[in-house]
Amino acid sequence: MSDIIKLLPDAVANQIAAGEVIQRPASAVKELLENAIDAGSDTISLVIKDAGKALIQVNDNGFGMSETDARLSFERHATSKIKCAADLFNINTKGFRGEALASIAAIAQVELKTKVEGNDLGTQIIIEGSKVKEQEVCNCSKGTSFSIKNLFFNVPARRNFLKSNSVETRHIIDEFQRVALVHSDIAFSMYNNGNEVFNLKKGSFRQRIVGIFGDKYNQKLVPVTETMDIVSIEGFVGKPEFAKKTRGEQYFFVNNRFIKNHYLNHAVQNAFDQLLSQDQFPSYYLKLTIDPSKIDINIHPTKTEIKFEDERAIYAIIRTAVKQGLGKYNISPTLDFEQESSFNVPLLKSTDTIKNPTIKVNSAYNPFETKTVAPMPKKQSVENWESLYDSFKKDTSEIIEHKKTKVEQQIISPDWDNEEEKQHTLLQLHSKYILAQLKSGSLIIDQQRAHERILFEEYIKNLALGKGNSQQLLFPETIDFTIADAELLNELKSEIKNLGFDFDKMGKSSFVVSGVPSELKEQNVKKVLEDLLEQFKLNESELKLKKHENLAISIARSASIKSGKKLSEDEMKSLIDQLFACEMPYSLPNGKPIIITLNLEDLNQQFDY
Ligand code: ADP
Ligand code: MG
């Protein structure tokens, strides 16, 4: 057999490498911004069009490139940042692998203009799919400007794989924020489709955080500082009362590079200890400075994961520093720094006696008493319980098909108690579940999930029809969002309006809300909208839901009555009635059960009848 192994042409090799380095427009943004910083710039601007799919442009005022360097910069493994393997242990620049520009040039149309200090003229190069189309002298100012057009133009599979503009724009904003946050000594601006999104002046770290996330953040920040031999820490954590339901603003920077690290994240989470509930995440913005020889940045092409020589010690230092920060600002006056908090749970001694839990019973309480109470919103007629019986029968087959879970085996014959016992017992358990009695058993209904299902189906309908019931607010409310959230809200504008909200953008990141879905008129509008966006982001990253479904789920979640709310009998009836009018009353869109059935037979058996 003849020899068959060939070296891949450079263009192909670069395209393959690009798969690792440039996954989406945001990756190109990151590489270009980092190059601009490495070039010693103090003013950098980013311009994107069409979520970076049509154009990404980064302009800097750094030291620029000579004509030869400009041409060389697009070669693979061409870098000015390291010279030999030993340099890998003393990296003080963002880049050093020399593959970003080669990768980008392999999959896009790139235009470079660059000029070094003191030269009259600069160099312009146009390169497309790794082929140089044009190289000539040009008139430009000192520094460098890269324009990346039609990213992935020659890799259609990649281009098709990109998400919607709103998602890709948000990835770009994320990268921009990560880079801009830690370099507060550089002025950054960003323009999206011609609109200014950020205009950040040089300043302190605190000023930069506030510049990015909004003025209100100033009062949310608690300083954290610590200087030790192996690491020094400088930055802020968010006060516990501003903790979020999603892992939004969590930033670790090591030697000015944004990194992700679950272990160190845990150190911060742990330092907050009892200050946060289980579903809350602290915000933090922590800059770590470590001797470059004690870390390995080279374990991942995008360099967002790094290895530490002594991760455990760094964990302990971060945890203590954050605790001290919180303690100093009297956020947690009872913190005891000496004690390991995981040992705080009191253990029972063998001599301890265990007390029986006691229950308070209200002997005057009559579950059958009918009181007049405010009805649930959008109450539907509950003529009689037989209607429940019908829908229960109808839907039994659906749930079996929909979700083959334990519920399937528990389906009981849906016979409501007969005429003589017309009194339908409904009982609320633990302010969380509703117990309803059938002839052959009982149903236990999760009140919050039931309401979520009802609202979800209503909102899905409203989104499809394009009109939700809107109620005008007596006093329109002005609400400030972070710039990233404001962008998201703007992207989702027409859908959110279809849900029944009425709002307009005012300035860069404020909105005036003048109408809300009618069933939400009693609620705190700001909180509902913020929850809606938080939930939307969470669903998007974790469940990868479609936009409509995600929005409907998110708003249903934030607007639903919650566990812990006491319900009157009328409210319970109305809730159950609306639930059984739903197309799929038995489970949430994520498959979690809403109803559990208790079979009388099984109960009898358990009691050994
Ligand atoms: P790396 O950053 O890993 O060195 P890149 O492919 O990103 O590799 O860039 C290659 C080289 O091009 C850099 O080492 C640098 O010398 C030069 N370069 C890239 N961008 C700029 C810029 N904005 N200003 C000056 N030089 C740049
Ligand atoms: Mg680089």
Measured distance CA(386)–CA(368) in Å, rounded: 19
Q: What is the mean pLDDT of residues 526-532?
A: 87
What is the residue-averaged pLDDT of the chain? 82
- Neighbouring-strand partners of residue 200: 188
Q: Residue 404 pLDDT more than 70?
A: no
Name the token pair of 418.
Answer: 């007969």
Residue 340 belongs to some domain of the structure: no
Kindly state whether residues 498 and 530 are assigned to the same domain: yes
Name the token pair of 523.
Answer: 């609620």
Residue 292 near ligand 1, beta carbon < 6 Å: no
Please name the amino acid found at residue 14.
Answer: N
The number of folded domains in the chain is: 3
Q: How confident is the model at residue 32 (pLDDT cuts 50, 70, 90)?
A: very high
Q: Residue 274 pLDDT more than 80?
A: no
Question: 394 C-alpha vs ligand 1 centroid, how far in Å?
Answer: 66
Beta strands in 229-328 (DSSP E): 232-238, 250-254, 257-259, 284-289, 295-296, 307-308
Half-sphere exposure of 247 (CA within 13 A, CB side): 13
Q: How confident is the model at residue 542 (pLDDT cuts 50, 70, 90)?
A: low
Residue 355 belongs to some domain of the structure: no
Which of 13-17, 305-309, 519-523 shows the lowest mean pLDDT across its residues? 519-523
**C-alpha torsion sign, points 270, 314, 176, 510:** positive
What CA–CA distances, in Å, run from 501 to 144, 376, 466, 471? 45, 21, 12, 8
Measured distance CA(271)–CA(321) in Å, rounded: 9
Instruction: Decide: 208 and 184 in contact? Cβ < 8 Å.
Output: yes
Q: What is the pLDDT of residue 423?
A: 52
Q: Closest Cα to atom 25, ligand 1: which residue?
A: 64
Render 166-217 in DSSP notation, one character per residue: HHHHHHHHHHHHHHHHH-TTSEEEEEETTEEEEEE-S--HHHHHHHHH-GGG
What CA–CA distances, in Å, run from 241 to 337, 428, 526? 21, 31, 16
Q: How confident is the model at residue 410 (pLDDT cuts 50, 70, 90)?
A: very low
Render 16-49 in DSSP notation, one character per residue: HHHHHH-SSHHHHHHHHHHHHHHTT-SEEEEEEE
Among the bound ligands, name the one nearest to the CA of residue 60.
1
Residue 35 near ligand 1, beta carbon < 6 Å: yes
Question: 205 C-alpha vs ligand 2 centroid, how far in Å?
Answer: 24
Q: Residue 102 pLDDT more than 90?
A: yes
Kindly state whether residues 27 and 175 are assigned to the same domain: yes
Kindly state whether residues 48 and 187 are assigned to the same domain: yes
For a ligand 1 pocket test, name from 101, 145, 179, 302 the mutation site with the most ligand atoms within 8 angstroms of its C-beta.
101
Q: What is the mean pLDDT of residues 578-601?
A: 85
514: enclosing H helix or E strand: strand 510-517
Residue 79 near ligand 1, beta carbon < 6 Å: yes
Nearest to 436 by CA among 266, 264, 597, 288: 597
Nearest to 331 by CA among 237, 249, 199, 408: 237
Question: 37 C-alpha vs ligand 2 centroid, how far in Å?
Answer: 9
Which of 11-15, 248-252, 337-341, 481-485 shows the lowest mean pLDDT across its residues? 337-341
Q: What is the pLDDT of residue 424?
A: 61
Name the token pair of 595.
Answer: 């109803």
Q: What is the pLDDT of residue 238?
A: 93
Measured distance CA(166)–CA(546) in Å, rounded: 13
Q: What is the mean pLDDT of residues 449-453?
A: 94
Q: Residue 167 pLDDT more than 70?
A: yes
Instruction: Decide: 553 and 545 in contact? Cβ < 8 Å.
Output: yes
| CATH number reported for the structural domain that contains residue 160 in this entry | 3.30.565.10
Q: For the chain, percent helix, then strand, then coil, each to nearest 5?
A: 40, 20, 40
Kindly state whether residues 84 and 157 are assigned to the same domain: yes
Higher pLDDT, 358 or 425: 425
Q: What is the pLDDT of residue 358?
A: 44
Measured distance CA(532)–CA(521) in Å, rounded: 15
Among the bound ligands, name the one nearest to the CA of residue 69.
1
Q: Closest Cα to atom 13, ligand 1: which residue?
A: 79
Residue 261 belongs to some domain of the structure: yes
Residue 391 belongs to some domain of the structure: no
Q: Closest Cα to atom 12, ligand 1: which residue?
A: 73
Kindly state whether residues 263 and 161 are assigned to the same domain: no
Containing structural domain, residue 95: 10-203
Q: Residue 355 pLDDT more than 60?
A: no
Residue 60 belongs to some domain of the structure: yes
Measured distance CA(577)–CA(128) in Å, rounded: 63
Q: Residue 580 pLDDT more than 60?
A: yes
Q: What is the pLDDT of residue 411?
A: 37
- Among the candidates 272, 302, 329, a domain finishes at 329
Q: What is the pLDDT of residue 276?
A: 82
| CATH number reported for the structural domain that contains residue 325 in this entry | 3.30.230.10
Kindly state whether residues 102 and 152 are assigned to the same domain: yes
Q: Residue 566 pLDDT more than 80?
A: yes
Instruction: Decide: 182 and 288 in contact? Cβ < 8 Å.
Output: no
Q: Residue 426 pLDDT more than 50?
A: yes
Q: Residue 420 pLDDT more than 70?
A: no
| CATH number reported for the structural domain that contains residue 451 in this entry | 3.30.1540.20
Q: How confident is the model at residue 401 (pLDDT cuts 50, 70, 90)?
A: very low
Q: Closest Cα to atom 8, ligand 1: which residue?
A: 98
- Among the candidates 313, 329, 345, a domain finishes at 329
Kindly state whether residues 165 and 252 are assigned to the same domain: no
Kindly state whether residues 91 and 75 are assigned to the same domain: yes
Residue 373 belongs to some domain of the structure: no
Higher pLDDT, 547 or 168: 168
Measured distance CA(424)–CA(559) in Å, rounded: 28
Residue 538 near ligand 1, beta carbon < 6 Å: no
Kindly state whether residues 165 and 235 are assigned to the same domain: no
By percentage, how much of the chain surpasses pLDDT 90? 41
Residue 97 near ligand 1, beta carbon < 6 Å: yes
C-beta atoms surrounding 570 within 10 Å: 18
Among the bound ligands, name the one nearest to the CA of residue 82.
1
Kindly state whether residues 227 and 145 are assigned to the same domain: no
SS3 category, 318: helix
Kindly state whether residues 119 and 245 are assigned to the same domain: no
Measured distance CA(179)–CA(208) in Å, rounded: 11
Measured distance CA(575)–CA(455) in Å, rounded: 11
Q: What is the pLDDT of residue 543?
A: 62
Q: Which of 37-46, 97-106, 254-263, 292-301 has the highest mean pLDDT?
A: 37-46
- Neighbouring-strand partners of residue 46: 58, 190
Q: What is the pLDDT of residue 363?
A: 47
Render 364-432 in DSSP notation, one character per residue: T--TT-----PPPTTPPP---THHHHHHHHHHHHHHHHH--SHHHHH----PBP-GGG----EEEETTT
pTM: 0.67
Q: What is the pLDDT of residue 383?
A: 40
- Dump pLDDT digits (tens) for 186-240: 999 999 999 999 999 999 999 999 999 988 899 899 999 999 999 999 999 999 8
- Dump pLDDT digits (tens) for 375-396: 333 333 334 443 343 334 333 3
Q: What is the pLDDT of residue 346?
A: 37
- Among the candidates 171, 203, 235, a domain finishes at 203
Residue 73 near ligand 1, beta carbon < 6 Å: yes
Residue 145 near ligand 1, beta carbon < 6 Å: no
- Dump pLDDT digits (tens) for 310-343: 888 999 999 999 999 988 776 543 333 333 333 3
Q: What is the pLDDT of residue 330?
A: 61
Q: What is the pLDDT of residue 373?
A: 36
Question: 125 C-alpha vs ligand 1 centroid, how far in Å?
Answer: 14
Higher pLDDT, 326 or 519: 326
Q: Residue 602 pLDDT more than 90?
A: no
Name the token pair of 491.
Answer: 């992207």
Q: How confident is the model at residue 544 (pLDDT cuts 50, 70, 90)?
A: low
Q: How confident is the model at residue 444 (pLDDT cuts 50, 70, 90)?
A: very high
Residue 463 near ligand 1, beta carbon < 6 Å: no
Measured distance CA(363)–CA(508) in Å, rounded: 58
Kindly state whether residues 107 and 171 are assigned to the same domain: yes
Residue 82 belongs to some domain of the structure: yes
Residue 289 belongs to some domain of the structure: yes
Q: 28-63: b or e for each residue (b if 16 or more CB lie within 10 Å)?
A: bbbbbbbbbbbbebeebbbbbeebbbebbbbbbbbb
